[in-house]
Amino acid sequence: MTTAMKRYFAVYVALLFFTAIQFLVGYQTISGSQMAVRFLTFALIDSFLVVLFFMNLGRERPGFIKFFIYFMVFVLATMNYIWTDSFRLLVFRLTGNMPT
């Protein structure tokens, strides 16, 4: 087995481990805010591993990595405007209170 294959296999096993931990955390009797923080922490770790190794972003030039990060922050920030409008429309539809 080559060194690259060993690295990918190790990352895959780590992702499986974090998924198992998330499954166990989901069945704990903790408050919702604690559970959300734990799930978000594991999601950040998982996404970091996937982006670094499976998308090969760890081997790119630093300028491209900065562009990728800035672009993702921009996309997530602009999606925030769409979510709030969708929520407003959903509330209007469910309650029947339309704006006048």
The H or E element containing residue 81 is helix 62-95
Check residue 70 and give its pLDDT.
93
Banded pLDDT at 100 (limits 50, 70, 90) = low
The mean pLDDT value for 45-70 works out to: 87
Residue 20: burial class (beta carbons within 10 Å; 0-12, 13-18, 19+): exposed
Does residue 87 or residue 65 have the better pLDDT? 65
Check residue 14 and give its pLDDT.
92
pLDDT tens-digit map of 9-30: 998 999 999 999 999 988 988 8
Contact residues for 52 (Cβ-Cβ < 8 A; gap 6+): 58
% of the chain exceeding 90 in pLDDT: 23
pLDDT tens-digit map of 69-98: 899 899 888 877 766 677 777 778 888 777
